[in-house]
Structure 1
Amino acid sequence: MFPSSIDKEELKKLPLQAFPGTIHVIDSVAGMQKYMPVLKQEKVLGFDTETRPSFRKGRVNKISLVQFATPFHAFLFRLTALNLPDELVELFEDDSIIKVGAALHDDLIDLRRIRDFKAGGFLDLQKYVEAFGIENKGVAKLAGIILGFRISKNQQLSNWDVDKLSDAQKEYAATDAWVCLKIYLELQNYQLK
């Protein structure tokens, strides 16, 4: 069984890990047409979103980036360039593809502010880990508890609306979606033992 929690000091001692695969940034219709068929072939995808932080009380910015990850590829969709196209909405509604993320409730509300859709196939790790007796539910702590490594959160509050994402931003965004997938797959393997 997994420990129910991990403290900050224990987490700091773990090795740092980042997404090891290829990162694809999609900000055009051509990119959508190239990569959506690849995503639709998957049974399970890691999922996350990024939003430019707001430092004013009561102000909420639109989601800037939607990320999907497979074990070896991450797909970063720039909503600042694409808005919320039909192809993404179809993927969000597809029950046959599991989209694994953490704290999905807020992500889905924010995405529906851009365009309404009926979410299908989403699995929230924060609820899923309860069956394993895990109390710490943040992605960084879940990575430590379940995968035995830590992930960097340094880019979390960066500007996701910039014209060109930095390499550090791309790695951070890819890692967030990938680690959700990796946690889910590890828990699935654990259940099969």
Structure 2
Amino acid sequence: MPTVELPEQYTRAFTKEEINALPLKRWNGPVEIVRTEGQRDKAVKELRNDPLLGFDTETRPVFKKGRKPNLPSLLQLATAECVYLFQLNLLPMDNGLLELLADPAVIKTGVAVRDDICGLRKLTDFTPGGFVDLSDISASTGMQTHGLRNMAANLLGFRISKTAQCSNWAKDNLARAQVAYAATDAWVSRELYLAMKELELL
């Protein structure tokens, strides 16, 4: 990994007030909600056309102490043109999707991806390939914050909403706010990778 001396604007920790003062952005492009086998097959084919995918998952939160974590309900993969939301409680991860997640030639980039991969492997075991954890890169370069929201402030100059984070991701019909939140997280993950590449951190 290249050793680059980053300017302070990229390494310093932003306060909550500073982040809240930044412009709010979200993904405004097309979103495909994948609920059927036909939609899954079409989505995987389209995802194969982009060698860099933003990656994230969403899991219904547990509010009672001592209860086991829930399994992931949503898998998000973002290309340059579209974000695909796979509803894993309605559709198994097969017919090309697992192969995509295992393919080392396709970069899947996100924050704290180990936890996401661990959750996905509890649904269907696979050997992950091509994953890049942006948190590891930010930590190795002296950045003070490693979460998606803080990294967006540092590297992209805007803030993203986290209001839907603790909502019920296991619902069959996701709310508009959930769709926007999930799509934005995957899109931002891809944008952060590109920003880090521009700064020669990759």
Give me the TM-score of the superposition, normalised by structure 2. Answer: 0.91
1:64 to 64, 73, 91: 73
2:3 counterpart residue number? none
What is the CA-CA distance between 1:29 and the residue it aligns to?
0.5
2:33 counterpart residue number? 25
Letter in 1 for 2:88: L
What is the CA-CA distance between 1:101 and the residue it aligns to?
0.6
Equivalent pairs: percent with the same residue? 41
The CA distance in 1 between the partners of 2:95 and 2:126, in whole Å, is: 10
The CA distance in 2 between the partners of 1:5 and 1:131, in whole Å, is: 15
1:43 counterpart residue number? 51
Q: Which has the higher helix share?
A: 1
2:172 counterpart residue number? 163
The answer to whether 1:126 aligns with 2:126 is no
1:41-98 Cα deviation digits (max 9, x unpaired)? 1111000000011112232111000000123310000001112224221111000000
2:184 to 175, 188, 191: 175
Give me the TM-score of the superposition, normalised by structure 1. Answer: 0.96
Check the 8 A contact 1:20/1:72 in 2, yes or no: no
The CA distance in 1 between the partners of 2:139 and 2:38, in whole Å, is: 41
1:83 partner SS: coil
Moved more, 94-103 or 28-37: 28-37
The CA distance in 2 between the partners of 1:135 and 1:41, in whole Å, is: 35
Moved more, 54-63 or 27-36: 54-63
Superposition RMSD in Å: 1.2
1:123 partner SS: strand
Letter in 2 for 1:64: S
What is the CA-CA distance between 1:11 and the residue it aligns to?
0.4
What stretches of structure 1 move > 6 A for 4+ residues in a row?
A: none
1:149-178 Cα deviation digits (max 9, x unpaired)? 000000000001112111111000000010
Question: How many residues were matched structurally?
Answer: 192
1:16 counterpart residue number? 24
Q: Which runs of 5+ in 2 are unaligned?
A: 1-6
The CA distance in 2 between the partners of 1:72 and 1:13, in whole Å, is: 28
Pairing of 1:92-131 with structure 2 (within 5 A): 92-131=101-140
Check the 8 A contact 1:44/1:99 in 2, yes or no: yes
2:4 counterpart residue number? none
1:159 partner SS: coil
Moved more, 125-134 or 166-175: 125-134
Moved more, 67-76 or 170-179: 67-76
